[in-house]
Structure formats: structure tokens, C-alpha cells
Amino acid sequence: MKLSANTQQTRRIAHDLLSPLASLSLLLNQENHFGEEERLIANQALHRMQLLVEQLIECPEASRNPTPSKPIAIAPLLKAVVREQVIALGATPKKTLKLNLPDLRFTVRCRVQPLVFECVISNLIGNAIAAANEKPLEVWVSLTCHGPRAVVTVTDNGPGIPEVVLKYYEKGVPYSTKKGGHGLGLLSARSIALGWKGCLRISTQKHGTSIILELPLTNKEGNQ
């Protein structure tokens, strides 16, 4: 059954709410009192949720007149999302998250919507972290440039994505092997990437998965 544009938008935004909610849940369940950095992360996640809820409420109008994407420096957005996830992990044993931004800073600009970009990256990192279950896990997030494209890669050393999930993904059908999962995350990310004239690729083996998000670079001075 084909879903209407409004229904698809509603499901995507509702799904995007799960990641910041999970971050807040982990923070609030830590025994230690909030420090300044933890408070900052909580406020950022809350702000993201507030904006998502506003989009959800205004969904019919938003789907007819989507917010035009504009050239944005994506390295600071990546740093913010990774920092949020690192703080949320806290002292979780055997799980680490690393970010590699090789002297790119504000020079890498892409035509994206900041809130949506953060949600996509947050979901991809969340999927990588969840893949390990109780096993030791490392997740690497990197930003590089290849010709006219920026490449964001989220890599983990988990068990890999099941073949059945990949088959459904290629068909554009939601499917998940996770308890309570809906299989919307990767499909949503791919749809968003295509809307930004980019692409989302998956490279997976038994000992790890890489999700590669490619976006066209925009370096016009007038848009900085």
C-alpha cells in the first residue's frame, strides 16, 4: 500500500524523534548529577525534539512547501551530534565513539537542512551502537572530500547487517530484525540524501558495517 506524502512525512519525523529521546533517557538515568556539558547536550536534544514536533504539527503545510535547503558547514553539525552521543554513552563499558575531521572545519559546505542532517547522522550512529548488543563495539564517524562531493562515513565493528534487511532495503520496503524496530531509519536517510542530490550506500560484512552518505559540495562565496 502506497502511503501519502503527508503520512510518509509524519512517519519519518516520528521516527527521527526516537534518537534524541534515547539520548535523553540515557543521560537522565546516569547516577551522577548533570555537569555543564551534560546540561548543554540535554538542551540541544530537547531543542531538536521541539523543532521536530513543530514540523509534525504543521506536516500538511510543510509537505507542500518544504523548507529550502541552503549551504551549511556540516563539520560543526557532525561534531555536535557525535558529542551528544558520546555524552549519552557515558561510562557504558566496551563501547566507544570516535570522530575524524581532518582539518575541514567550516570549509565543507553542503546544501542541507541542519536539523534533518543532524537527525540522519544521529540515527545512523544510533543504529551502529545498537548493533553490538552486549559485545565490545567501536564506531567511527569521518568526513572527507572526494572530488565535488563530501563523504560522511559511519563505520562500526559490529556483526554486520543481515542479508534479508539489505534485500528489503534495496526494494525500498521497511524491515527490521530489531525488537521494536520499524526499518524506517535507513530508508528515510536514503530518501533524504536523494532529495539533496546525494546518495546513501551500505558496505557490510560479518565483522562490520559502513554507511556512506555522499553529498554535493557547495562552495559559493555568496552563500557562506
What's this model's pTM, rounded to 2 decimal places? 0.72
Look at residue 32 in the predicted model and tell me its pLDDT.
60
Distances (CA, A) of 40 to 23, 34, 151, 162, 183: 12, 9, 28, 36, 30
Cα 22 from chain centroid? 13
Instruction: Report yes or no: 148 and 217 within 8 Å, Cβ to Cβ.
Output: yes
Look at residue 183 in the predicted model and tell me its pLDDT.
53
Please choose, from the candidates 178, 199, 204, the residue with its C-alpha nearest in 3D space to the C-alpha of residue 189: 199
Distances (CA, A) of 211 to 51, 161, 186, 202: 26, 11, 9, 5
Instruction: Report yes or no: 46 and 24 within 8 Å, Cβ to Cβ.
Output: yes
Q: What 8-state DSSP symbol labels residue 152?
A: E
Instruction: Report yes or no: 166 and 187 within 8 Å, Cβ to Cβ.
Output: no
Q: Is 202 helix (H, G, I), strand (E, B) or coil?
A: strand
Phi first, then psi: give them for residue 98, nearest 5 degrees. Answer: -125, 150
What is the radius of gyration, based on Cα positions, of the chain? 17
Q: Is 141 helix (H, G, I), strand (E, B) or coil?
A: strand
Query: Length of the chain, please?
Result: 224
Please choose, from the candidates 144, 117, 139, 140, the residue with its C-alpha nearest in 3D space to the C-alpha of residue 129: 139
* H helix count then E strand count, the chain: 8, 7
- Find all residues with CB under 8 Å of 60, minimum gap 6, and list them: 6
- Tens place of pLDDT per residue across the chain (224 aa): 455 666 677 767 767 776 776 777 666 666 566 676 776 777 677 777 767 666 665 554 444 445 556 799 999 999 989 988 887 777 566 778 888 887 766 689 999 988 889 989 998 998 888 776 667 788 999 999 999 999 999 999 888 888 888 888 887 776 665 554 445 578 889 989 999 999 999 998 878 899 999 999 996 443 33
The secondary structure element, H or E, covering residue 161 is none
Residue carrying C-alpha cell 548533570: 34
CA angle 192, 193, 197 (to 5 degrees): 115
Look at residue 65 in the predicted model and tell me its pLDDT.
42
The domain locations on the chain are 68-223
Q: What is the CATH number of domain 68-223?
A: 3.30.565.10
Residue carrying C-alpha cell 536517510: 189
